[in-house]
Structure 1
Amino acid sequence: MTDSTSASPKPVVLLRPAPQKRDRIFTPEALARLDAAFTVIDLEDAPDDALFEEHLQDAFAIVGQPDLDADRLTRATSLKALINVEGNFFPNVDYGTAFARGVRVLGCGSAYSQAVAEFSLGLALDLARGISGQDGAMRDGSEKYVSESAGDAILLHRAAVGILGYGNLGRSFHRLLQPFHTTVRIYDPWLPPAVIQETGGIPAGLEETLRSSQFLFVFATATADNAHLLDGTALDLLPDGARIILVSRAAVVDYDALLERLQQGRFLAAIDVWPTEPLPKDSPFRGLANTVLSPHRAGGIPQAFHSIGDMVVDDLTLMARGLPPVRLQAAAPELVGRYRNKPVT
């Protein structure tokens, strides 16, 4: 990596990837490519803002999401790209000023899509057939054989599926459902019906989606408008025995209402995201036999992390040549201020 004393005509990249780690998202090969094409000011271990402020005016790109108010963005006179490498856009940036100054705000959320989609499919099959539950039963000696252990099993094949949120995650998952010949209703108020219809889905309102779903997949991001979208009233619309797969943002769900209905045996759930992480040791969710628990690990696998670094290098290289980025996802000015996601630690 280039240190702060090096002089070079190459564009300056400020690398402050927290809460990510540099070596988690950049392979040695990707770091070498980045360093060959840019003057990289590595700020991962810089505890204060002195170096950041020193190089801010010359920065071509910022990789990470440090605090960027209007004053900082105004002083970043060479800035062309702000690249979030955590996966969520946080409210610590004056996005209006960034867009007004022609700064591209880019995110890496699509890097996680395939990993989350495959994990979601695994959770659905587990809930359908009791795979992890029967593994536990065999380990403690309480198993029952053949049909005695499969009385509540159902097929994903030709099932009625509901998807809440049809962004990167929802679309990646929908493609995995094709061999199962499911009927898929999709609720996403940010999309016109034609977009959903073109993918073979059925655009539907929230109530219709919930009432019809044997399997419900929650991929919605957290916004200012959908906190506790799945509250008690909404959860009561689900049919008895439904399977709920939660792999997106915890804020979308009222977990107290969810817990109450799971304790009543109304449906089954697989949960990868939690309002408080780590999940408290005494959480009543830990004692539910009808729930598959997961510690927020659907997307965070090495292949997904490494793809982030490759995407960053590829798009910065294009932008340095005066071309638009093609791999990272551009934030929409109309939407980025609505997100209410929290950093994943």
Structure 2
Amino acid sequence: MTDDRPLVLSLPAPRTLELIFSPEALAKLHRRYEVHEAATLADVPDAALARARYLLGQPPVTEDALARMTALRCVFNVEGNLLDNMPYPRLFERGIHVVTTAQVFALPVAEIGLALALDLLREVTEADLAFREGREVWGLEGNRAARLLSGAEVGMIGYGELGRALHRLLQGFRPRLRVFDPWLPASVIAEAGAEPADLDTVLRQSDVVFVVAAVTSENQRFLGAPAFASMRPGAAFILLSRADVVDFDALIDAVAAGHLRAASDVFPEEPMPRDHRVRGLRGFLRSAHRAGALDLAFRRMGDMVLEDMELLDRGLPPQRCKRAERETVARMRSKPVSAN
């Protein structure tokens, strides 16, 4: 008997269907669609390639494989970052949507970013460690380097989904927020209640700098020693997006010299070598790429995918996932994650 359900090619590694769909949502996926799971597109028979309506995942796609996927309507990227591993111009020429579920991570990452900022400004972790080791300093003397986030001058580099989520959380602290994002017109930033600014102003005039910019072909390691030297002594630098936008050795040097305090959820190597100097560096808060990795966030991915598949089945464009832009998608240079 012929299965007339639309075919979904499932290659979401390192994600799994069980991770990104709740049991109820996964049952719905299998009721509505025939799902063909594979490790690579090379493992998929030609007949399945030809019938596939949707590609769930972000595997490398060759021109040849794409040419055989004659029924394809949408690629659902569930890694979060668009990867430079598909012939995007050909996808767009054929009217195939490319969408990402990255926005599910915006709020969880923004929350941990706020936590890291408060920790650095009030030295929460450092004070706890000192207490455990019997070298605590009480009262006013223990706050000589402390600062308030309330009313602080805050800089943000990048203003996508994550930047906007972080801005909403910061509003209760009434900061003066300056934003640098060369991919946005100044009016978009101003209408959101922040001040558009150039990179130099953001770095020089901020007590706290949040880096939430995606890594692209244009900004790899663009924050280096000169950028860190231009920042206020004692300022907090918080890296939440991707490590490749930063010269990590230069950042470590700035912290080791006592010029900056820093925190990062992302690193040049993951995991970092056991003997790497960042592991024992005072004034540097370390989070093992866990800011967005919540069950709730992963399950939201599946709900968004199902909603957009239903729209596409009806001949409508996707609305829940974020669509890739033809002008920028090929500039993305994120490395794929290896762990959820």
Q: Tell me the residue number matched to 1:162.
A: 155
Runs of at least 5 residues in structure 2 that lack an aligned partner in the other structure: none
After superposition, the C-alpha distances for 1:248-268 in whole angstroms (9 at most, x for unaligned) are: 110110011111111110010
Shift of 1:289: 1.5
Change (3 A) 1:52 1:135: farther
1:66 aligns to what SS in structure 2? coil
Task: Select which of 196, 221, 230 maps to 2:214.
Answer: 221
Correspondence 1:174-213 to 2 at 5 A: 174-213=167-206
Shift of 1:148: 2.1
1:154 aligns to what SS in structure 2? coil
What is the TM-score normalised by the length of structure 1?
A: 0.95
After superposition, the C-alpha distances for 1:222-255 in whole angstroms (9 at most, x for unaligned) are: 0000011111111111010100111111011001
Change (3 A) 1:7 1:146: farther
Task: Tell whether 2:111 aligns with 1:152.
Answer: no
Q: What is the distance in 1 between the residues matched to 2:86 and 2:7?
A: 20
Task: Tell whether 2:73 aligns with 1:80.
Answer: yes
Task: Select which of 114, 122, 131 maps to 2:107.
Answer: 114
Task: Select which of 299, 314, 320 maps to 2:307.
Answer: 314
Q: What is the distance in 2 between the residues matched to 1:331 and 1:296?
A: 24
2:70 aligns to what SS in structure 1? coil
Task: Tell whether 2:142 aligns with 1:173.
Answer: no
Amino acid at match of 1:273: V
Task: Tell whether 2:121 aligns with 1:128.
Answer: yes
Q: Tell me the residue number matched to 1:251.
A: 244
Task: Tell whether 2:284 aligns with 1:291.
Answer: yes
Q: Tell me the residue number matched to 2:10.
A: 15
Runs of at least 5 residues in structure 1 that lack an aligned partner in the other structure: 1-5
After superposition, the C-alpha distances for 1:140-181 in whole angstroms (9 at most, x for unaligned) are: 222122222111110000000000000111111001111111
What's the C-alpha RMSD, in Å, of the aligned pairs? 1.3
What is the TM-score normalised by the length of structure 2?
A: 0.97
Q: Tell me the residue number matched to 1:25.
A: 20
Task: Select which of 130, 134, 147 maps to 1:137.
Answer: 130
CA contact (8 A) 2:77 2:99 kept: yes
After superposition, the C-alpha distances for 1:270-324 in whole angstroms (9 at most, x for unaligned) are: 1111001101111111121111111111111111111111111111111112222
Shift of 1:51: 2.9
Task: Select which of 23, 30, 33 maps to 1:35.
Answer: 30
Q: What is the distance in 2 between the residues matched to 1:7 and 1:119?
A: 49
Task: Tell whether 2:57 aligns with 1:61.
Answer: no
Q: Tell me the residue number matched to 2:92.
A: 99
Q: Tell me the residue number matched to 1:275.
A: 268
Change (3 A) 1:47 1:162: closer
Q: What is the distance in 2 between the residues matched to 1:81 and 1:328?
A: 11
Change (3 A) 1:47 1:325: closer
Shift of 1:54: 3.6
CA contact (8 A) 1:162 1:216 kept: yes
After superposition, the C-alpha distances for 1:205-228 in whole angstroms (9 at most, x for unaligned) are: 000111101000000100000011
Q: What is the distance in 2 between the residues matched to 1:53 and 1:260?
A: 53
CA contact (8 A) 1:105 1:331 kept: yes
Q: Tell me the residue number matched to 2:322.
A: 329
Shift of 1:134: 1.4
Amino acid at match of 2:185: P
CA contact (8 A) 1:37 1:317 kept: no
Q: What is the distance in 2 between the residues matched to 1:343 and 1:77?
A: 27
CA contact (8 A) 1:243 1:269 kept: yes
Q: What is the distance in 2 between the residues matched to 1:50 and 1:286?
A: 41
Q: What is the distance in 2 between the residues matched to 1:223 and 1:123?
A: 25
2:44 aligns to what SS in structure 1? helix
Tell me which stretches of 4 or more aligned residues in structure 1 moved more than 6 Å. Answer: none
Q: What is the distance in 2 between the residues matched to 1:130 and 1:146?
A: 13
Q: What is the distance in 1 between the residues matched to 2:13 and 2:249?
A: 32
1:57 aligns to what SS in structure 2? helix
